[in-house]
Amino acid sequence: MTSDLPLQQSEIFAKAMALINRPTEQVADTLILRRRPFPALASRPLLSGNGFKLLARHGVRLINAERPQDAPALRAAGFRQIMTPAHIAELDLSQTREQLRAAMQGKWRNRLAAAQARGLHQVHHRVFDPARDAWLLKAEAAQQKRRQYRALPPALTLAMSQASPESSRLFTCADAAMLFVLHGRRASYHIGHSGPEGRAASAHNLLLATAMKALPDHGIRWLELGTIDTETAASLARFKLGSGASVRALGGTWLRALP
């Protein structure tokens, strides 16, 4: 596996899925998941040539494509698009700190400055500890229920920590936290939480800005902040875009009907 794969195609993800008894298979350097009664799934594969045809021959019927330019190869392999592409926010951490700060939107940068001026407790970042940090998973579960959305299950978060302890890094200050998963030269924003003090002080701006400085020391080039949803999560979308992240379209969801 290369060092620039999305989390869903990474080695840590494969190991974690095995730990929660949902093992993946590898076909054409692509992780696929078989879970009856659902179709075999490949999520965000990076393929070229006839790779999609090979997946089809191995029974893959559902693909969440990584790139819009994969569309002709998907059609040639017998897949048809059933959902339009989502968009994700990414930060290029190879830029200098000055370049990263200049890319931030004015209001976002002002909130960062306000958080720094408020004298919040120093930002700490360390390896995620399943026992010590169980509160974060409970807070995330409560938030999902309250806001009625679904994300990766807590069991997978714990499994990724078990599979590669150094790859889950937690940033905290006051009553706020952000958890990132490191995979190759990429890192993915995984969980965020903020209590009353953190929200009042714009702690998440400070946490993300600190992560942008710290993660390159761990070999990270790209930081993925997740999907941009301006309809049901507009404030979160503004937060991601305000950080200076660029927006990239994925390739949509494709289904291959049975012969």
Q: What global pTM score does this model have?
A: 0.94
Query: Looking at residues 54-73, what average pLDDT do you find?
Result: 96
User: How confident is residue 143, by pLDDT bands cut at 50, 70 and 90?
Assistant: confident
pLDDT on residue 119: 65
Please report how many Cα atoms fall inside a 13 Å half-sphere around the Cα of residue 211, on the Cβ side.
32
Cβ 224 vs Cβ 245: under 8 Å? no
Of the listed ranges 2-16, 25-39, 50-64, 145-159, the least confidently predicted one is: 145-159
Burial environment of residue 181 by CB neighbours within 10 A (0 to 12, 13 to 18, 19 or more):
buried
Query: Looking at residues 231-253, what average pLDDT do you find?
Result: 95
pLDDT on residue 121: 58
CA–CA distances in Å: residue 11 to residues 2, 30, 102: 9, 11, 34
User: Over 80: is that where the pLDDT of 90 sits?
Assistant: yes
**Full set of structural domains in the chain with CATH:** 7-87+250-255 (no CATH), 88-248 (3.40.630.30)
Instruction: State how far the Cα of 250 lies from the Cα of 222, in Å rounded to an integer.
Output: 16
Instruction: State how far the Cα of 234 lies from the Cα of 246, in Å rounded to an integer.
Output: 16
More confident residue, 68 or 140: 68
Query: Which residues have a Cβ under 8 Å from the Cβ of 87 and sit 6 or more positions away?
Result: 227, 228, 247, 248, 249, 250
Query: Looking at residues 101-111, what average pLDDT do you find?
Result: 96
Query: Looking at residues 191-196, what average pLDDT do you find?
Result: 92
pLDDT on residue 188: 98
The residue among 110, 120, 220 whose CA lies nearest residue 176 is 120
Across the chain, what does the average pLDDT equal?
93
Instruction: State how far the Cα of 125 lies from the Cα of 89, in Å rounded to an integer.
Output: 22
pLDDT on residue 126: 96
User: How confident is residue 259, by pLDDT bands cut at 50, 70 and 90?
Assistant: low
